[in-house]
Amino acid sequence: MKQYGKIIAKLRKERNMTQAELGAKLNVTYQAVSKWENDQSQPDFATMIEMAKLFNVPLNVFVDGDEASVPAAPAAETPQAELQPAEEPVIGYCKNCGIAVRKENLAQERPYILCSNCATELAEHEKAEREKAAAKEAEKDGRHKHDRNRGLIWAAVITGVLLAAALGVTIGTGNYIGIPVSIGCAAILYMFVAQLFWGGFVVNACLGGAKVIGTPGIIFSFDLDGFIFLIAMKILFALLRMLVFLVTLLISSCFALVCSPFTFVPAMIRVRSEGREEI
C-alpha cells in the first residue's frame, strides 16, 4: 500500500520544515499538506515532481509510495545550496485562488490578500460590469426620452390640426379677435394632450368618474323569467353606467383641461425623474 502521508511527513521533518513552510514552497496551503500527511488526499503528479526536486530525492520515492525507499536526509547542505538566494517569505494566501502570496506577486494586502493574477481578473470583471451598467443606463434613458417626446409630438400634431381648423374658421368669418383666443386655447390643449400620454394627474382626473361608478347587485329567481330579468337589468345598468361615465368623463376632462397648464411643468419633471430613478 502506498504511504504518501508518512513519506511526506518524514521528508519534511528531516528537513526541519513546518507544514506551512512546505506548503509555501509548493504554492499550496498548509491544510493541503496536512491532508496529504494524514492520507486524506494525495498530491498530483506535478506536485510530486516539485517535492522530489525540493527534497532532493528520486521521483520513484513518491511514485512507488514505499516508505522504506526514502533515502536519509543529507548531513549538511552543499556549498552550492548555501549560495542560493533565500526565498521571499510568504505574506499570506490569496483569498480568491488560495495560492501563496509573496512580495513579487502581491497585488493587494488589505482588506484581504490578492495575488497579481486575481487582481487583474477582478479589475477586468469590474470594468466589464461598469460598461454593461452604462449601456443599460443609456438604453433606459433613451426609452424614457422617447416616451416623453412621443407625448410632445402627438400633442403638437393634434393641436396643430385643430388650431389650423379654428384659425381657418376665424379668418373666414372675419372675426380676428378670435385669433389670439384660438392660439391660447391651442396652447392649453397642447399641454392637456401631452399629459394624456404621460399619465399622472390629468389622466387620473379624466378617469376619476369611471373609478367610482359601480352597478348594484340584482336579486332574481332561478327560472326563465328570472334569467331574462337578470339579463335585461345587466344591459340596462351597463348602458346607464356608460352614460354616467361619458358625462363624468366630459366634466372631469374639462376640469383636467383647466388644470393642465398648472400641471404641465411638474408632469414633465416627474416623467424625467422617473426615468432616472428606474436607471
Task: Give domain limits for the chain.
Answer: 4-121, 135-278
pLDDT digits (tens, 9 = 90+) for 145-162: 777 788 788 888 888 888
Higher pLDDT, 79 or 100: 100
Helices (H) and strands (E) in the chain, counts: 11, 4
Q: Is residue 73's pLDDT more than 60?
A: no
For domain 4-121, is the CATH number 1.10.260.40?
yes
pLDDT digits (tens, 9 = 90+) for 28-54: 888 888 888 888 888 888 888 888 888
Q: Is residue 169's pLDDT more than 80?
A: yes
Tell me the H-state helices in 101-115.
none
Band (188; pLDDT cuts 50, 70, 90) = confident
pTM for the full model? Answer: 0.36
Q: Confirm if 140 and 275 have CB atoms less than 8 A apart.
A: yes
Band (218; pLDDT cuts 50, 70, 90) = low
Average pLDDT over residues 254-259: 80
Query: 172-204 in b/e burial notation, b at 16+ Cβ within 10 A?
Result: eeeeeebeeebeebbeebbbbbbbbbbeebbee
pLDDT digits (tens, 9 = 90+) for 1-22: 466 788 888 888 888 888 888 8
Band (56; pLDDT cuts 50, 70, 90) = confident
